[in-house]
Amino acid sequence: MNLPNKLTVLRIILTPFFLVAMLTEFRFHYLVAAAIFIVASLTDMLDGKIARKHNLITTFGKLCDPLADKMLTTAALLAFMELDICSVWIIMIILTREFLVTSFRLVASAQGVVIAAGIWGKLKTASQMVFSIVIMFAVHFFEAYSLDFNVLSIISNCLLGITAVLTVVSGIKYIVDGIKVIDISM
């Protein structure tokens, strides 16, 4: 297994540790969760750069890298929902897109076609990761200073609403581009 693929697997492994840190109360647990999330997010940036620079792009990486991203960002959304600072509708929009695109990828794969993530998918993932980190630091700040979590919920939903829009746009773009390279009549 090459280094980019090991980084993808590391992101998958870090995801449950992130979720445990996010949802288990101990001193500075939101900051610990944010640190784990940041490290996991950096593996996403590094695996792609290393793979492209050293020509280490593999089918495993093309398929599992987006899966690892989905696992990490979904874990954050579920934690935010558990904390009651994220609308279930935002999560539903994002997860619906993720399931549709993953299903589309499976159809393409069954036809011998691998469709890598495009720029819109990368923007969607980057926004989810950056906004999730911002929200984790905000949760820590709001809790540390006993601030109103209703305000935090509004901030969180606004930021995640932006990612939901990018999620829909990237999903539509992915499917429109994919229809050009696979046979959907099967």
- Determine the pLDDT at residue 161: 95
In this structure, of 39-53, 72-86, 98-112, 164-178, the range with the lowest mean pLDDT score is 98-112
Query: Structural domain of residue 155, as residue ranges?
Result: 3-179
CATH number of the domain encompassing residue 38: 1.20.120.1760
The answer to whether residue 185 is domain-embedded is no
| 8 and 47 Cβ atoms separated by less than 8 Å | yes
The answer to whether residue 160 is domain-embedded is yes
Residues 6+ apart with CB under 8 A from 50: 3, 4, 7, 56
- Determine the pLDDT at residue 180: 85
Helices marked H in the chain — which ranges?
Answer: 3-23, 29-53, 59-82, 88-110, 119-144, 149-179
pLDDT, tens only, 97-144: 999 988 888 888 888 887 777 888 889 989 999 999 999 999 999 999
- Gyration radius of the chain's alpha carbons: 17
- Determine the pLDDT at residue 181: 84
In this structure, of 8-22, 91-105, 139-153, the range with the lowest mean pLDDT score is 91-105
The answer to whether residue 186 is domain-embedded is no
The answer to whether residue 52 is domain-embedded is yes
The answer to whether residue 184 is domain-embedded is no
| 24 and 83 Cβ atoms separated by less than 8 Å | no
| 131 and 162 Cβ atoms separated by less than 8 Å | yes
- Determine the pLDDT at residue 114: 77
pLDDT, tens only, 161-178: 999 999 999 999 988 888
Q: Is the pLDDT of residue 183 over 90?
A: no
- Determine the pLDDT at residue 186: 63
- Determine the pLDDT at residue 23: 97
Cα gap 96→120, rounded to integer Å: 17
The answer to whether residue 157 is domain-embedded is yes
Number of domains in the chain: 1
Choice between 37 and 111, residue whose per-residue pLDDT is larger: 37
Q: How far is CA 36 from CA 3, 30, 103, 157, in A?
A: 19, 10, 29, 22
